[in-house]
Structure 1
Amino acid sequence: MCPVVWRNWARTASADPELVARPESDEEVAALVRWAAARGTRVRAVGAGHSFTDCAVTDGVLLDLDAMDGVEHVGPPAPDGSREVRVGAGIRLHRLCRELAARGLALENMGDIDRQSIAGAISTGTHGTGARLGGFATQVRAVRLVTAAGEVVEADATRHPEVFELARLGLGTAGVLTAVTLRVVPAFTLEAHEAPRPLAEVLEAIEPTDGSGLVDAHDHVEFYWFPYTDVALTKINDRAGTGAGPLHPLRRLLDDEILSNGALTLTTELCASVRAFTPTINRVAARALGERRYTAPSYEVFTSPRRVVFREMEYAIPRDRVVPALREVDAWLRRTGENVPFPVEVRFAAADDVWLSTAHGRDTAYVAVHQARRLPYARYFRAVEAIMTEHAGRPHWGKLHRRRAEDLAALYPRFDDARRVRDAVDPDRVFGNAYTERVLGR
């Protein structure tokens, strides 16, 4: 039902790699890395190409990890029922979810897209929503990677712990991930409750951070606010259901395909052609997706089909600053009349200790803004970026932003540690490119 959608950008970027390879084993990855390093050629790995940035772009060797997508090992259950599962780094999330479900397991939390590879999702800081839960990187227990020297290394919290920290969220700068070990949980069902509500009511409900507000009262909370309206579409998912049944296939078709994808495509094209229509269309869209309540396996509730093309920027800010930040975005839009037919998406995450996580050390709210492909986005994104920067915002590593290493260093307490480890494991920047140089420094 969520109206925010995406399209693969990185695989169609303008880079012209010298060589594109699809290795099938660690040994093949290692041989390719050694070959490239000996020639002074850079290496980047690409998964699904979900990122809006050029983080996977290279003019050197591009490694497509799609063939490394198997389930390698399922560990014994821990006392809480969780297990550790090792999978190939190129496995796509939708396949991973099916493989886990067949074994009675599930990811504890995930975002609303399941097309990414697991390596790409953890390396760019992909996350879901939930005040007590972290992003994908917090679910990683170990990695296997090929270093710049062409060596296969296994790293975790006790073996090469600093390499592990950079590898589980470091834009691929520690090496080429070939396998990832995840903590997963017993499969579970979620009850989804989606409904349009007055924006003022939603902001009042999410503002408390003392445990009494909406975000802390439920397992997973997110909402979508339509610019120029006073309506937000809330999406609340809980394990403890009240008996709602599964969603009727025709209702799912109507909401997820006809309204969220088909109608949104038409309305954004119309808004791109006739700017004056945008406020009215947003008001209609905000109410067209009506209330629904249903239960389904967790991965079916977390994710939705995405078919509309857009650009996206997302910032992570301290959770207690999200309400004033959103009010400032609203004021800017109303003052300028910028043509924005896409909703603003807001999600939440618990503080974590991952070095380059956007939620490092603080409970976090994520504010994502989008723009239709036919509409200019630079002024809108710059204005929102300026607002988020004033609220100590950290940009999502895989989405559009203009921040540089000198801007980001002060926002991450372990930023210098990440750069130090990068210097140690890849002094010649075999795994570098223009994007990693911009955000992490040369």
Structure 2
Amino acid sequence: MAGTLRTGTLRTDTWRNWAGDQRAGGLTVLAPAGTEEVAAQVRAAAAAGRRVTALGSGHSFSGIGRPEDVALTLRRHAALLDVDDAGLVTVQAGMPLHRLNGELAARGWALTNLGDIDRQTVAGAVSTGTHGTGARFGGLATQLRALELVTADGGVLRCSPDEHPEVFSAARVGLGALGVLTTVALQAVPAFALRAEEGPARLPDLLASFEEVVTSTDHVEFYWFPHTDRCLLKRNTRVPLSEVAPPSRARALWEDEVLANAGFAAVVAAGRRVPVLVPPLAELSARAWGTRTHTDLSHRVFVSRRRVRFREMEYAVPRGAAPAVLAELRRAVDAGPWRVPFPVEVRVAAADDVPLSTACGRDTAYVAVHVPARSDPGGFFAAFEAITGAAGGRPHWGKQHGLDAAALAARYPRFAEFTALRARLDPGGVLGNAHLDRVLGPVGAGVAG
């Protein structure tokens, strides 16, 4: 049965991502359960000369997860396998982060840092370099301690710093190009709370004291409202669970659903219909956010509900370059023809040693821009990409960008190391798609590092 695709086979006419801008049709969709079934399906696809893509939640804005032929959904491969006494969490890679966060909280554990969205699968979040914010903290990949990978020939590699260490190092942000991630082991920490302090700030003040602001507590981020100098500053401090004091249900409903989602959706819709309204609406939106403080379990504070759909581009720049990048972006918005209804998000992370991590080898600031999901970002994204490129910016792998392998090789000192490993593990390009061929180069083509 090496050439037969049978287990859990489904048919679907189309696939689309969360934002709706990436689509595919005519796919063979398989739902294997267990590593051996995953391996059997990859072997069968490879024998039939077909390309394989592992599906996550579809929350990437780039084409990284766009399937072309055989698509593996890991929804039947999504169990929590173990949490040991030291907090080592072993989980099947199809589990979504929001379920994992709940499972860990029930056992008295937590992931030490998270992004602000938790709908991704563990595999998708790890593979694309998902990160949160915190000057002393790395992205999700830095919390990995071991992983299991099904390679393009259907082999199974169990990897850690002691077993296939070169594969483990690269596969922590593997883009889906080295194998199908089936199981990961993450280092959790004892459950903790976050004291969230949110309030207004001015962009010139934040840029003038950027380093002081982003290192002032554990997790800092801010949102700049284009066409204004107004920002929303968020500062989250790690505190004991005994200090948990969440907002009332009514207050949470008003702030998180009415203001942050329903009200914002109305603002975005009005701006799309009448673009000239965007600047005054941005001023109104910024003023609507007052000061608030609350304390809750860490994952409830890290994560925000995002019901207004958008397209996103995010670049990682050296942390010291962030004020100049933001100042130049403001100048471009003020001088340009665009009307930008979404705030610009700014976060930070510590340097790490993961070859294709956006924070590899340098303390990093992340700057993210957004447009409504059904909008053409056009010149706005292009201008932003040019500004960050001048600072040596690296694009988030799961978000829109226009760079190819040659450009990316110049920005990642270990790029050639990764592509050489890819060529060894998948010489036939079984696990590729058009997007990976663009950003990594066709397998075997080689890219100068």
User: By the TM > 0.5 criterion, same fold?
Assistant: yes
8 Å CA contact 1:11–1:48 kept in 2: the answer is no
User: 1:250-278: CA deviations, max 9, x gaps?
Assistant: 11111111111101111111111111111
| Shift, 1:16, TM fit | 2.2
Name the aligned partner's letter for residue 36 of structure 1.
Answer: A
Q: Larger relative CO (CA 8 A, sep 6+): 1 or 2?
A: 1
Match of 1:69? 78
Matches within 5 A, 1:35-434: 35-77=44-86, 83-206=87-210, 208=211, 213-240=212-239, 245-434=245-434
8 Å CA contact 1:144–1:178 kept in 2: the answer is yes
Q: Are residues 12 and 376 of structure 1, via their aligned partners in 2, closer, same or farther at CA, if it must alter by over 3 Å?
A: closer
- Which secondary structure does the structure 1 equivalent of 2:95 belong to? coil
| Shift, 1:18, TM fit | 3.6
In structure 2, C-alpha distance between the alignment counterparts of 1:145 and 1:239, rounded to whole Å: 34
- Which secondary structure does the structure 1 equivalent of 2:360 belong to? coil
RMSD of equivalent CA atoms: 1.5
The match for 1:9 among 12, 18, 24 is 18
8 Å CA contact 1:17–1:62 kept in 2: the answer is no
Q: Are residues 115 and 354 of structure 1, via their aligned partners in 2, closer, same or farther at CA, if it must alter by over 3 Å?
A: same
User: 1:209-254: CA deviations, max 9, x gaps?
Assistant: xxxx121120000000000111110110001489683212111111
8 Å CA contact 2:32–2:38 kept in 1: the answer is yes
In structure 2, C-alpha distance between the alignment counterparts of 1:307 and 1:201, rounded to whole Å: 31
Name the aligned partner's letter for residue 237 of structure 1.
Answer: N
- Which secondary structure does the structure 2 equivalent of 1:347 belong to? strand
- Which secondary structure does the structure 2 equivalent of 1:239 belong to? strand
8 Å CA contact 2:159–2:168 kept in 1: the answer is yes
In structure 2, C-alpha distance between the alignment counterparts of 1:10 and 1:425, rounded to whole Å: 32
8 Å CA contact 2:313–2:401 kept in 1: the answer is yes
In structure 1, C-alpha distance between the alignment counterparts of 2:22 and 2:243, rounded to whole Å: 47
Instruction: Report the TM-score when normalising by structure 2.
Output: 0.92
Match of 1:3? none
| Shift, 1:76, TM fit | 2.8
Match of 1:80? none
Q: Are residues 87 and 11 of structure 1, via their aligned partners in 2, closer, same or farther at CA, if it must alter by over 3 Å?
A: farther
- Which secondary structure does the structure 2 equivalent of 1:431 belong to? coil
Gapped runs of 5+ residues in structure 2? 1-15, 443-449
8 Å CA contact 1:166–1:173 kept in 2: the answer is no
8 Å CA contact 2:20–2:373 kept in 1: the answer is no
| Shift, 1:440, TM fit | 0.6
Name the aligned partner's letter for residue 50 of structure 1.
Answer: H
Q: Are residues 325 and 190 of structure 1, via their aligned partners in 2, closer, same or farther at CA, if it must alter by over 3 Å?
A: same
Q: Are residues 160 and 11 of structure 1, via their aligned partners in 2, closer, same or farther at CA, if it must alter by over 3 Å?
A: farther
In structure 2, C-alpha distance between the alignment counterparts of 1:158 and 1:10, rounded to whole Å: 39
Name the aligned partner's letter for residue 428 of structure 1.
Answer: G
8 Å CA contact 2:223–2:233 kept in 1: the answer is yes
- Which secondary structure does the structure 2 equivalent of 1:261 belong to? helix
User: 1:379-412: CA deviations, max 9, x gaps?
Assistant: 1000000000001000000000000000000111
| Shift, 1:376, TM fit | 2.7
Number of aligned pairs?
426
User: 1:13-71: CA deviations, max 9, x gaps?
Assistant: 32225410111111111111011000110101011111001111222210001111111
| Mean Cα deviation higher: 246-255 or 322-331 | 246-255
Q: Are residues 11 and 386 of structure 1, via their aligned partners in 2, closer, same or farther at CA, if it must alter by over 3 Å?
A: closer
Instruction: Report the TM-score when normalising by structure 1.
Output: 0.94
In structure 2, C-alpha distance between the alignment counterparts of 1:42 and 1:357, rounded to whole Å: 25
Name the aligned partner's letter for residue 176 of structure 1.
Answer: V
| Shift, 1:11, TM fit | 7.8
8 Å CA contact 2:150–2:180 kept in 1: the answer is yes
Name the aligned partner's letter for residue 330 of structure 1.
Answer: R
| Mean Cα deviation higher: 86-95 or 67-76 | 67-76
8 Å CA contact 1:346–1:365 kept in 2: the answer is yes
| Mean Cα deviation higher: 194-203 or 41-50 | 194-203
Match of 2:33? 24
In structure 2, C-alpha distance between the alignment counterparts of 1:363 and 1:95, rounded to whole Å: 30
In structure 1, C-alpha distance between the alignment counterparts of 2:342 and 2:176, rounded to whole Å: 31
8 Å CA contact 2:22–2:62 kept in 1: the answer is no
Name the aligned partner's letter for residue 70 of structure 1.
Answer: A
In structure 2, C-alpha distance between the alignment counterparts of 1:273 and 1:221, rounded to whole Å: 34
